[in-house]
Amino acid sequence: MSADHVVVLTTVDSEAASRTIAASAVEARLAACAQVVGPITSVFRWEDEVQTATEWRIECKTPADRAGALEEFLKVRHPYDLPEVVVLPITGGSARYLAWLVAETR
Enter the DSSP assignment of 2: -
Q: Of all helices (H) and strands (E), which one includes residue 90?
A: strand 86-90
3-state secondary structure of 31: coil
**Domain of residue 16, residue span:** 5-103
pLDDT digits (tens, 9 = 90+) for 22-69: 999 999 999 999 999 999 999 999 999 999 999 999 999 999 999 999
Number of structural domains in the chain: 1
Q: What is the mean pLDDT of the chain?
A: 96
Q: How far apart are CA 47 and CA 68, in angstroms?
A: 28
Is 77:5 a contact under the CB 8 Å cutoff?
Answer: no
pLDDT number for residue 53: 97
Residue 2 pLDDT greater than 80, yes or no: no
pLDDT digits (tens, 9 = 90+) for 66-94: 999 999 999 999 999 999 999 999 999 99
CATH of the domain at 11: 3.30.70.120
**How many other C-beta atoms are found inside a 10 Å radius of the C-beta of residue 44?**
12
3-state secondary structure of 95: helix
Is 36:104 a contact under the CB 8 Å cutoff?
Answer: no
Output the pTM of the full model. 0.94
C-alpha 80: how far from its chain's center?
A: 14
Measured between alpha carbons, how far apart are the two ends of the chain, in Å? Answer: 24
